[in-house]
Every structure is written in C-alpha cells, then in structure tokens.
Structure 1
Amino acid sequence: MTSTARREARITADPDVPLIRIVREFDAPRESVFRAHTEPELVAQWMGPRSVENRIDRWDCRTGGSWRYVSVHEGQEYGFYGSFHEVRPNELIVQTFTFEGMPDGVALERLVLEDIGGGRTRLTATSLVDSFEGRDAFLASGMEVGVNEGYEKLDELLARG
C-alpha cells in the first residue's frame, strides 16, 4: 500500500430522490476495505470524526444480522442502530441506519466495493432517506466532516495492515 495525499470523499445529493451518494477511493485491496467495515473492533477505530469515540454494542455483520453502536462526543452519547439486509463478502453491504434521537428517520444504505486495480478500491455508498428535508438535514449536520475524517482514519488503519 502506498501513501497518498489527503483525499476527500465526493458527497453528492441526488436532485430527483432523497439520496446521498459518497464515492471514495482507497489504496488498499477491497478485501481489506470490506474487513474494516465488517469487523467491529476495526469499525470502532475509524468510523466518524476524530473528536468521537465509538463503542460497539452489537455487530452481527451478516445477511439478517443487526448492529448498534454509541458515539461519545464531549461526554454526550449518541446511539445508532440498524439491520444488515444483504452482506456479500468483499462486494456489498445493504443495511438500515437509524439515529436513536430520531427513531422515525430510517435510511436504507448500500455500500459497494469495486476493485479498480493496482491494489486499490473504490467505495460507493448511498443513503436513501424518507424526504428531501431529511436528506438536507443529514447534509447540514456536519456529515461531510465525519465522513472525511473517518475515511482519513480508515486510510491510516489500512496503511498499518
């Protein structure tokens, strides 16, 4: 794995449906990127902004499994949970995502990993929410910082092997 300059995730809002798309490339094989998304001890190390610590309460990453984690920021705890609907090794994860502070706001998320050659992987993640207002609130919440800092931490984790 080679070291690269800081790279930003491309985050876009679909104009026709309440969907957010994130595209990011990693200097690591897709098996490694998949493992970092499916093993709870690895997920806790990279997910979210640097100012947050994560505690995984449940992480059964298989088709039909479920998950829950808590992010701690400045002493405040924020819980998130969902279900894994489809998990295909090194290729695809489809899950739901709910913030406990807004239990009616369920997103359907799809993560696709593509081998782009040279030991590199392109991640494409989509989050479909129930309204344009919900999508725009997601974007306004500082999501971009959390995504980019989280993926920077993932780059560091992948570089360590």
Structure 2
Amino acid sequence: MTTSTRETRIAADPDVPLIRITREFDAPPAKVFRAHTDPELVVQWLGPRGLEMRIDHYDCRTGGSYRYVHSDANGEYAFHGSFHEVRPDERIVQTFTFEGMPDGVALEKLVLEDLGDGRTRLTSTSLCDSFADRDAMLASGMEVGVVQGYERLDEVLAR
C-alpha cells in the first residue's frame, strides 16, 4: 500500500447543490480515462479500502449504464446510473444513484485536463437534486471513499 502525496480537494458550492472534487495524477489523461472506463480496472480502485466491489454491469459508453455493489461485514451498498456522454481521454457525464436513497439522483461530470509531463488534473462535479441531498452525500462519509479511492487509483496507475 502506498500513500499519495497528492491532495484531493472536495468543496461544496455555496450557490448551487454541487460538490466539486479536484485531484492531480502522475499519469497521462488516456491512462486515467482507461482506469475510469475499464471495469477490470475500476473494480481495483473505486471506493474505500476494506470494501469488496462487485460490478453487475459496466458499459462505459455514451448511452451505456452501470451498477456496482460495495460490501463489507455490515452489508451491501449498491449504486447505479447511466452514461450520458463519454469522450475518450477528455470527459464522462453520468448519473449516479445510491440505491439506499433511490430518490436522490446526481448528475456527474468528470473532466480530465492534460497538464503535460505525463500528468493529469481530474475535476469531478456532482450536481444534486437539493442542498439537503448534497449535504447528506457529504455527511455520508463519501470523503473517505473518494480520498482512499484516489490513493488506490494512484497504485493502479503506477503499475
């Protein structure tokens, strides 16, 4: 296990129910993109350490969809959504639903920026239905999953 020296920044927008996540990676955009779109790689890094991940389906293309389940001794946590736009090495637009709160659907956009020298800046936004839903997402412990997931992604990208 390695620990990243990169900071993951998570911020709540004060004007709209949006969460913005920013993180830099020591890998080119094509490699970071592949790690987000190839289910064999996604299962290796998405989510916090200590949870097992099972992908029911993961069709990362414009018009595709996904469903995956994280599990531990306390239970299962399922998520699903649809891919609305997938542009190789550049962006992914998708919906995101935690099945434990099925009425809350977030619209997410992931943008990859080439910083040169084999580095990429990832900016992800999650637009929630309401400020209450956004605040519930932030209070759910998502920060641990995001930070640890990106540390795990560093490990995948280094291989």
TM-score, normalised to structure 1, is 0.95
Q: Is residue 46 of structure 2 the alignment partner of residue 40 of structure 1?
A: no
Q: Is residue 148 of structure 2 the alignment partner of residue 141 of structure 1?
A: no
1 CA distance for matches of 2:123 and 2:65?
21
Correspondence 1:2-151 to 2 at 5 A: 5-151=4-150
2 CA distance for matches of 1:4 and 1:145?
14
Q: Deviations over 1:53-98 (max 9, x none)?
A: 1101100100000000000122511111000000000000000000
- Let me know the Cα RMSD of the aligned residues: 1.3
Q: Is residue 136 of structure 2 the alignment partner of residue 155 of structure 1?
A: no
For these two proteins, the number of residue pairs brought into alignment is 158
Instruction: Give unpaired runs (5+ residues) of structure 1.
Output: none
1 CA distance for matches of 2:101 and 2:113?
32
1 CA distance for matches of 2:4 and 2:98?
32
2 CA distance for matches of 1:5 and 1:53?
21
Instruction: Give unpaired runs (5+ residues) of structure 2.
Output: none
Task: In structure 2, give the amino acid aligned to 1:137.
Answer: A
Task: In structure 2, give the amino acid aligned to 1:127.
Answer: S
Q: Deviations over 1:32-66 (max 9, x none)?
A: 00000000010011001001111011001000000
CA shift at 1:4, angstroms? 8.5
**Ranges of 4+ aligned residues in structure 1 off by more than 6 Å:** none
SS of the counterpart of 2:50? coil
Identity of aligned residues (%): 75
**Contact 2:62–2:86, Cα closer than 8 Å, also in 1:** yes
**Contact 2:17–2:127, Cα closer than 8 Å, also in 1:** yes
1 CA distance for matches of 2:125 and 2:145?
16
